[in-house]
């Protein structure tokens, strides 16, 4: 897999480049992993409902063809776009999503944070009061508040075309979290969103981007 660090790039232009890469790739085209960050942007997935966009406050809203609802991208967030031939890699979409989430969990562990999966809600979550706890999430889920005590630290949304995947996963490092209040993050009203800085981790974007890229490359090997 070819790893490319793009730095800060416009979301709409990057989306177009990913789509063009996927449309034009052939059976022998090497997979690539693009690591970047975006200027402040809301992105709306294919299933996105307008009601989940509460108050954009001047932040651009871009329609996307990824799965999922509305999310926010901004400086201080590591965004990873694997451009991967799933058929050649030898796994299906469910395992692909699991591998992406595993890379997030492994990266968080390097900084002393325990990431958790929540059934039916792609992405990675942390305990707000005890983000270092290794105890698994347990007990019945309250349907009225399925994310009680949790904060979302990584969002995930992909698109698969001709068995090739693009879009990807975003990990919050040290960013202005206020724009998340302008949406129902990933379609969940009241869902708290956190970053590593909020959890007390003092690191910078290049360090987290490098480690996250390494974990993704390892997880996405054939």
Whether 186 sits among the annotated catalytic residues: the reply is: yes
Long-range contacts of 93-101 (CB under 8 A, 24+ apart): 93/158, 93/160, 93/165, 96/158, 96/165, 97/122, 97/156, 97/158, 99/219, 99/220, 100/156, 100/158, 100/168, 100/169, 100/216, 100/219, 101/154, 101/156, 101/169
Helices (H), 51-204: 86-89, 93-110
CB 183 within 8 A of CB 71: yes
Catalytic-labelled residue, pool 36, 164, 186, 217: 186
- Catalytic residue list: 186
């Amino acid at each position: 897999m070819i790893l490319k660090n793009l730095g800060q790039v416009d979301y709409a232009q990057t989306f177009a480049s990913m789509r063009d890469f996927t449309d034009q790739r052939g059976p022998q085209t090497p997979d690539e992993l693009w690591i970047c960050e975006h200027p402040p942007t809301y992105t709306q997935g294919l299933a996105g409902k307008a009601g989940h966009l509460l108050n954009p406050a001047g932040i651009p809203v871009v329609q996307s063809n990824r799965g999922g609802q509305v999310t926010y991208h901004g400086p201080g967030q590591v965004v990873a776009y694997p451009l991967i031939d799933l058929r050649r890699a030898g796994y299906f979409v469910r395992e692909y999503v699991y591998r992406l989430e595993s890379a997030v969990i492994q990266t968080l562990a390097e900084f002393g944070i325990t990431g958790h999966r929540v059934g039916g809600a792609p992405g990675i979550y942390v305990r707000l009061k005890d983000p270092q706890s290794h105890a698994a999430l347990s007990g019945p889920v309250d349907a009225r508040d399925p994310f009680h005590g949790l904060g979302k630290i990584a969002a995930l949304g992909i698109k698969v075309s001709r068995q090739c995947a693009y879009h990807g996963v975003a990990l919050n490092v040290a960013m202005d979290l206020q724009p998340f209040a302008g949406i129902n993050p990933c379609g969940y009203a009241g869902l708290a969103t956190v970053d590593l800085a909020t959890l007390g981790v003092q690191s910078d974007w290049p360090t987290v981007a490098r480690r996250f890229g390494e974990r993704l490359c390892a997880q996405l090997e054939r």
